[in-house]
């Protein structure tokens, strides 16, 4: 290996791309070193459900060969890992669940297809809350992921494996999905960057569905620049996803140079109430002061119905999940109960054995709110409130370019601390869920530490304003170095 490249795991995706291009190291060298890193830390972190070492090395060799033949594909030879709900052809796709513990996907998700076509090398599939239902990674059938900053703490969820792997400098970038905060919240709790694009910006084809009107694929990286690079590859219309939007994909990396000066930043009055930990509030306010100093204008905005976002979400998301998860019946794929007595017994035992407690709770809630007699009172009402929340954002964006505030109410919490109290767990997403209900893009960037643990600043933009939030995040990262500070244990 060329001198100076022995700590490739600390490099950003952008730097690795440059290094590969300049021939400083090969994709095989890079891939081998990261696979070693996965091996060294899997026991501590439990960030992976599957590691595809052999296939990765083959892909790396192919990438090196292609490069030698003049291939300059954007991600050629660069590493990537996928949250284990992106279907990957010929590779286990468990969704963190026992019910899919034996499911090998016959096709690739569009996200996987696009990232592969750009030349990336998949190293493995990351651990996650079962069916992406959770905020702590504790609902995974494969056991919890631990936070790289402290092994007693949760990395957040549901994309906890992806966030932990990126925070621990194991991989520079990972995919995730965000239905109510599952990219942004773990990013905040691990000191990484988490980008959830506009609903419809990235294809959902081949993602195991949780709540289809809210689910969106995105990325977890260590810089906004890397997030921009990956989003450019993933985004764009896909005819296999009927909610994918045919909207031009800008050059997100080129857009990063847009200055903060003149940007109108909305501060939501309701975001700084008693639910926010003092240490987080202090760090978020300091970050806003940095942006103000740089020439942004801070404007107070009102989201009068935002308090209703958590209850609204916990009607809409379970309703959609109860419908989406009805396909897991032990007949077509996945786990099947042994020796069923009849069809009903097969369904009941398969689903009781295959789904964990949180998933069963959601299916029951969802079935209830959709049932005749309760539909109007719960589901229909929730849909109406969802509209109101969307309108509140729309109104706020008449006066501001982005909305900034905390990503999560606290820093990382202990594993086991909130498992007995679903409501407290659900409140983790109080600042993130609004963007999902309204379909808006959001990003979380590290903005400092409270009691030695990372704090996230969230930026939310209008529909398809990924460029604006990425540029603001990138400019902030030019002025601060919080994102460059990793956990000592993994340095």
158 is catalytic: yes
Compare residues 330 and 409 and give the one whose CB is closer to ligand GLN.
409
Instruction: Return the number of the residue (37 or 184) whose C-beta is nearest ligand GLN.
Output: 184
| Residues 397 to 426 in contact with ligand GLN, rule: CB under 6 A | none
Figure out which of the listed residues 35, 51, 133, 153 binds ligand GLN, where binding follows CB under 6 A: 133
- Residues numbered 204 to 223 that lie near ligand GLN (CB under 6 A) are 210
Q: Which two tokens stand for residue 217?
A: 């694929």
Give how far Cα 418 sits from Cα of 137, 147, 169, 178, Å.
Answer: 12, 15, 27, 20
Q: Return the half-sphere exposure (C-beta side, CA atoms, 13 A cut-off) of residue 489.
A: 13
Any idea what DSSP says for residue 22?
A: T
The verdict on 192 binding ligand GLN (CB under 6 A) reads no
**Range in contact with ligand GLN (rule: CB under 6 A) among 19-27, 112-120, 131-139, 224-232:** 131-139
Cα torsion 226, 232, 233, 238: sign: positive
Of the listed pieces 73-81, 133-141, 167-175, 226-234, which binds ligand GLN according to CB under 6 A? 133-141
The answer to whether residue 87 forms part of the interface with ligand GLN (CB under 6 A) is no
Binding mask 299-328 for ligand GLN (x = CB under 6 A): ------------------x-----------
Burial 337-356 (b: 16+ CB within 10 A, else e): beeeeeeeebbebbbeebbb
From candidates 19, 181, 406, 461, binder to ligand GLN by CB under 6 A: 181
Q: What string of DSSP letters covers 225-267?
A: HHHHHHHHHHBS--TTSTT--------TTGGGG--STT-EEEE
The secondary structure of residue 375, as a DSSP letter, is: I
List 83, 125, 196, 418, catalytic entry:
83
Q: Is the dihedral of CA 123, 129, 133, 134 positive or negative?
A: negative
The reply to whether 329 sits near ligand GLN by the rule CB under 6 A is: no
Determine whether 182 is an active site residue. yes
Binding string to ligand GLN for residues 146 to 175, with x set by CB under 6 A, is what? ------------x-----------------
Burial class (CB in 10 A: 0-12, 13-18, 19+), 368: middle
26, 52, 179, 309: which one contacts ligand GLN (CB under 6 A)?
A: 179
> To 5 degrees, how large is the angle CA 257–CA 261–CA 266?
110
Give the DSSP letter of residue 126: E
Q: Is 135 in the site for ligand GLN (CB under 6 A)?
A: yes
Residues 115 and 22: their CA atoms lie apart, in Å, by 21
Annotated catalytic residue within 158, 203, 244, 444 = 158
CB of 426 to ligand GLN, least distance (A): 7
The nearer residue to ligand GLN, 12 or 154, going by C-beta atoms, is 154
Q: Which residues are catalytic?
A: 83, 158, 182
Q: List interacting residues with ligand GLN (CB under 6 A).
A: 132-135, 158, 178-182, 210, 317, 429
């Amino acid at each position: 290996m060329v001198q100076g490249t022995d700590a490739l795991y600390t490099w950003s995706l952008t730097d690795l791309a440059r290094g590969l291009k300049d021939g400083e190291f090969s994709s095989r060298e890079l891939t081998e070193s990261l696979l070693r890193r996965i091996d060294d830390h899997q026991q501590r972190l439990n960030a992976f459900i599957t590691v595809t070492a052999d296939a990765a090395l083959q892909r790396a060799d192919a990438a090196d060969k292609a490069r030698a033949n003049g291939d300059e594909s954007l991600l050629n030879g660069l590493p990537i890992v996928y949250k284990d709900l992106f279907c990957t052809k010929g590779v286990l796709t468990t969704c963190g669940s026992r019910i899919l513990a034996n499911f090998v996907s016959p096709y690739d998700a569009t996200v996987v297809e696009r990232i592969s076509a750009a030349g990336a090398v998949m190293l493995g599939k990351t651990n996650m809350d079962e069916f992406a239902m959770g905020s702590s990674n504790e609902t995974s059938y494969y056991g919890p992921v631990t936070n790289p900053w402290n092994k007693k703490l949760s990395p957040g969820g549901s994309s906890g494996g992806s966030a932990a792997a990126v925070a621990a400098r194991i991989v520079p970038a990972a995919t995730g999905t965000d239905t109510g905060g599952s990219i942004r919240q773990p990013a905040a709790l691990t000191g990484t960057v988490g980008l959830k694009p506009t609903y419809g910006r990235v294809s959902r084809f081949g993602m195991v569905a949780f709540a289809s009107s809210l689910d969106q694929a995105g990325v977890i990286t260590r810089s906004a620049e890397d997030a921009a690079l990956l989003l450019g590859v993933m985004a764009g219309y896909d005819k296999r996803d009927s909610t994918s939007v045919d909207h031009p994909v800008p050059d997100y990396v080129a857009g990063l140079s847009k200055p903060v000066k003149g940007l109108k930043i909305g501060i939501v009055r309701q975001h700084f109430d008693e639910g926010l930990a003092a240490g987080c509030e202090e760090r978020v306010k300091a970050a806003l002061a940095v942006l103000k100093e740089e020439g942004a204008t801070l404007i107070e905005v009102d989201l009068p119905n935002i308090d209703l976002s958590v209850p609204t979400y916990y009607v809409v998301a379970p309703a959609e999940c109860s419908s989406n998860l009805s396909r897991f019946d032990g007949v077509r794929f996945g786990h099947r109960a042994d020796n069923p007595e009849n069809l009903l017994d097969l369904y009941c035992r398969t689903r009781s054995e295959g789904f964990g407690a949180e998933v069963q709770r959601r299916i029951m809630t969802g079935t209830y709110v959709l049932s005749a007699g309760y539909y109007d009172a719960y589901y229909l009402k929730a849909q109406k409130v969802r509209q109101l929340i969307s309108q509140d954002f729309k109104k706020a964006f008449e006066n501001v370019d982005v909305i900034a505030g905390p990503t999560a109410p606290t820093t990382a919490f202990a594993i086991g601390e909130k498992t007995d109290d679903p409501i407290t767990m659900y409140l983790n997403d109080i600042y993130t869920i609004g963007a999902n209900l309204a379909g808006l893009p959001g990003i979380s960037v590290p903005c400092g530490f409270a009691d030695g643990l990372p704090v996230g600043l969230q930026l939310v933009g209008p529909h398809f304003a990924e460029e604006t939030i990425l540029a603001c995040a990138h400019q902030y990262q030019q002025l601060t170095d919080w994102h460059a500070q990793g956990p000592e244990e993994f340095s």
